[in-house]
Structures are given as C-alpha cells and as structure tokens.
Structure 1
C-alpha cells in the first residue's frame, strides 16, 4: 500500500514539474565568441537554445549549432558574419518538454570591437565611468557611435542611462549605497552588440562626516576649557589659604639640599709636575760658533 502511494506521489510530482517551464539560465557571458552559462544541475531533461539579433532588428534567430543542446556552452563565431556592423546581441533560453523559459541576454566580460571596455571610480555621491573616445566603433563611424551607460542601485532594474562619447560622471547618488553599471555601444541611438557584464561600486561617504567629527571635538574642548578655567581660578583666588596649608603640611627631607658628597666626585688620575725653564741670553748663527 505504501509503495503504491509513493509511486502515485512521484507520478503526480513529475506531472506537475512537466507543466512548469524550466528556470531561465543565469550569468550568461561571452569570452572570445564562446558563450557559456552555469549548468542547471537540479533540472532534468533541460536543453538550451541560443539566439542572435542583428543591429536595429527585433527579430531573434536561432544559432544553427546551438539549438536544443544539453551543453552549457556554444561557439557563436558564425553569428559575426550575420550581424550588421559585424556585431550581434545574444540570448539563451531553456526548454523542457515543449515549455520554454524566459530568454536571458548575454553580456561580454572583455571589451572588443562590439563591446566597450570601461572601469569605475566611486566618489562621494558620484560614480565615474571611464571610457575611451578612440574605440574601434568611433574610429569607423565617428560621432554617430556612442556609449550608452546604464546605471542604478544594485538589485534594481537599470532603466536610467546616459549616451556619451567618452568618460562620464554620474552625480547625486546616495552615499553608502551600491550602484551598478553596464555599457553598450549605440549607433544612431540604436544599441549595437553585446552590453558589458555588470560592474558595481559602493558610493563612499563624503568628507562632511569627518568635518563634523572635527567640529564636535573642537566644541567639546571649548566646553571643557570653559569649565576648567573657572574652577582653577576659583581655587587660586578663594582657596589660596587652603592650598598654602596643604603645602606647609608637606615636609621636605633635611638632606634634600645637602651638597653632593665629595667622595662621589670624580678624581683625576693625572698629576701636574713643576716645569723648569732656562733663560736664553742670545742666539748666534751656527757658522760663527765654529
């Protein structure tokens, strides 16, 4: 009886799972046209399909070599020839028994001809995105090619962005919060190629806090002095007799002012001898004496 119940539960559980789409792949990134993502170890019978989209196109096309594969990687070098400007956007979706997950777009870890290369510097209330003006896209297409910098708090959708030619500083950010950025090329305001993988930095607190600490310390010192000086003045003016009486009760040892004992003085080991002198009456040349 128990065996039948277990078999029934397993069958029902498997049927329920078969009606639920698989979880979408995560952390999809490209490195030298090799697309990789973590394997779904807890999901069975899951396959993956890689798709690409060229410039200014909303149509996604399957990569022929990467349709319903069980591997967690795919070489997508063939898509380079398919994309306008030689660049494409890539995404991956999981599939199980005819049900597909939400497709997830890939990002690029390293800059190349289709993906910008950038670094971040966080300052008080700001985040500077360092970008090169002389990138390959700009050299070929001039000012029509720009950087699109997406930014926002960590864990929130990055809906805000700035289109810039080179480095940019994003201001009025909350101090102590962690902000993340992604950068993508745009050509005539249309995204081109893969976006960079996300980079994040914590916005440091401004020097105002240290200045405030210094002001607090200074105020405390002033208060202490304002309290200490009147107290000392009170004792010196009104308690002079008490202070004298306290000093007179203190006895100085009698031998305190005695001179230093002669026995402890250093004794010179040198002795002076009396010198004997002779008076020279005259000096004559050596030839005359001969």
Structure 2
C-alpha cells in the first residue's frame, strides 16, 4: 500500500513539472473557435490570444482566459485590428505551466483568409486562388498569398509567394501532399491561414478516377441513343419506304412525238398506201 502511494506521489510530481500538450484540431468558423484536448489526463485549462498583423504583441481574449471548456467566441477581436484581420492561438495550462501555442486556421475563406481549391495532376498540384481579394483591392500587389506545402504528416515548411493561382511541380506520384495559404503584406503574415487541405498526386498514365467515370457515363449514353435510333428505324421502315417511293405516272413531256403518232389510231401511218376515192360509177357507163 505504501508503495502504491509513493508511485502516485511521484507521478503527480512528474506531471506537475511537465507542461501540458497543446490542444488539437483548432479551427474557427464564423468567429466560433473550437478545439479538442490532447490525449493526456489531468486538469487542463485554456487561454485564447490574438494579435493584429501590424503588432508583435499577443493579447488575451478577455472572455477566454484559463477556461475549462473547449470553445470561444472571438468576434470581439475583429474591432482590434485593421480590416478585422487578427491572428489567433490557443495555449493549454496546468499548475502554472503552459503548452506551446497552437495556431488557429479558418475553414472558410473570408476577407482575412484566402479561399482555396486544389487540382492534382501527375507530378504536380495546382492551388487555385482568387487574385481580386479584399486586401489586394486595398494594398494592391503588396498583399499576396503565401502557399505552404509538403507531404501529409510532415511540417509544411516549403512555401511559395504568389499573387494568384500557382502550380507546385516535381512532386512524388502516389503520395499525398498538403497545403495551406495565408495572406502576407510586405512579408508580414496577415489574418488566419486556411485550414490544411490534402490531395493524392496521381501516377502517370492512370487518369483520375473522376475522369474515368465521366467517360464511362458518356459511352453508355451514346450507346443507348444509338440503340433507340435503330429500334425506331426498324419499326418505321415501311412508312419510310412509302414516303420515298416515286409516283407511277410518267410525265407527258418524256414521251416523244413520233411515239404518239405511231400509236394514234386516228392519224394514219406514213407507210400506208394513198388511194383516190371514186365518187360515183353508173352501170350504163360500163357498156
């Protein structure tokens, strides 16, 4: 029994000297910030902080300091920065020790977070971005996108700065690559980054699954249409033949004049012998 009590005291002491793990799955959706705790036991509280892109000082969100729940409404921070573009992070705390800060991402694009979509091709990944975003209209070409990328499960350390959509080449086929995008202004990060999105890079010679499905559907539709046309032609073949049959009456202009004269019973044939008609002969004239 004494040994068990000593083990518990040692475990409590070790836990009290080690900071807690940072929270996970942190994201904001319409100014509602949520997260999940790390997979460890023990009492943990959370503090949400924010800062504007023109400042280096992190400030606590007043309503979310050392809270025990796992959500925070952060709309009040919008008024603290120009264009409402703030960066957010969450720290876990226990017995006076705090975890490493965990950055917050935004699930949906808005005036402070880029909206992105991905297209994967053999050896490359295209990140589609909107060039005409709110910050670009305000700051012109000084406000652009920073595109982070890397293999799934690895830190996204590589990045490209671009004003519009960009293709990332020389990627390993058959591997999943992930990306997230954040606005930058004069090389300073602005607002929240988009939440990480991943795509599988297809192998060469193997068309994407979606393309194969589309081709199969088109082939089936064409075959059905051709079959219906054949059935329709077979069922209407008699009517089609009658419609195409020419009239039996031969036009008069196709019959030659000699042919008509030869077969006209009223007109004598030119080959008949001509005779003089004797009008009258009396018997007395014969003697």
Scaled by the length of structure 2, what TM-score is found?
0.69
1:70-116 deviations in Å (ceiling 9; x for gaps): 01011111111112332011001100001111111010011111101
Tell me the residue number matched to 2:161: 163
Tell me the residue number matched to 1:177: 175
1:11 counterpart SS class: helix
Q: Please list every run of 5 or more consecutive structure 1 residues that lacks an aligned counterpart in the other structure.
A: 210-290
Deviation of 1:24 after TM superposition, in Å, equals 0.9
Residue 201 and residue 208 in structure 1: after superposition, are their counterparts in 2 closer, same or farther (change >3 A)?
closer
Deviation of 1:142 after TM superposition, in Å, equals 2.1
Structure 1's consecutive aligned runs of 4 or more residues displaced over 4 angstroms after TM superposition are none
1:117 counterpart SS class: coil
Q: Contact 2:175 / 2:201 at 8 angstroms: preserved in 1?
A: yes
Tell me the residue number matched to 1:33: 31
Tell me the residue number matched to 2:146: 148
Distance across 2 between alignment mates of 1:137 and 1:40: 35
Deviation of 1:41 after TM superposition, in Å, equals 6.5
Distance across 2 between alignment mates of 1:39 and 1:175: 35
Tell me the residue number matched to 1:194: 192
Tell me the residue number matched to 1:117: 115
What is the aligned residue count?
A: 207
Deviation of 1:139 after TM superposition, in Å, equals 2.3
Deviation of 1:58 after TM superposition, in Å, equals 2.4
1:257-272 matches, within 5 Å, as none
Tell me the residue number matched to 1:137: 135
Q: Contact 1:178 / 1:202 at 8 angstroms: preserved in 2?
A: yes
Farther off after superposition, 135-144 or 192-201: 135-144
Scaled by the length of structure 1, what TM-score is found?
0.68
Distance across 2 between alignment mates of 1:169 and 1:8: 59
Distance across 1 between alignment mates of 2:79 and 2:186: 21
Distance across 2 between alignment mates of 1:173 and 1:6: 54
Tell me the residue number matched to 2:268: none
2:118 counterpart SS class: strand
1:181 counterpart SS class: strand
Distance across 1 between alignment mates of 2:170 and 2:79: 42
Tell me the residue number matched to 2:256: none
Deviation of 1:163 after TM superposition, in Å, equals 1.4
1:37 counterpart SS class: strand
Distance across 2 between alignment mates of 1:154 and 1:208: 21
Distance across 2 between alignment mates of 1:149 and 1:12: 46
Distance across 2 between alignment mates of 1:161 and 1:84: 26
Distance across 2 between alignment mates of 1:77 and 1:101: 24
Distance across 2 between alignment mates of 1:30 and 1:208: 37
Deviation of 1:208 after TM superposition, in Å, equals 8.7
Q: Contact 2:24 / 2:38 at 8 angstroms: preserved in 1?
A: no
Q: Which has the larger radius of gyration?
A: 2
Tell me the residue number matched to 1:107: 105
2:24 counterpart SS class: coil
Residue 202 and residue 194 in structure 1: after superposition, are their counterparts in 2 closer, same or farther (change >3 A)?
same
Deviation of 1:19 after TM superposition, in Å, equals 1.2
Distance across 1 between alignment mates of 2:80 and 2:44: 28
Tell me the residue number matched to 2:282: none
Distance across 1 between alignment mates of 2:152 and 2:206: 25
Distance across 1 between alignment mates of 2:156 and 2:38: 26
1:148 counterpart SS class: strand
- RMSD of the alignment, in Å? 1.7
Residue 78 and residue 5 in structure 1: after superposition, are their counterparts in 2 closer, same or farther (change >3 A)?
same
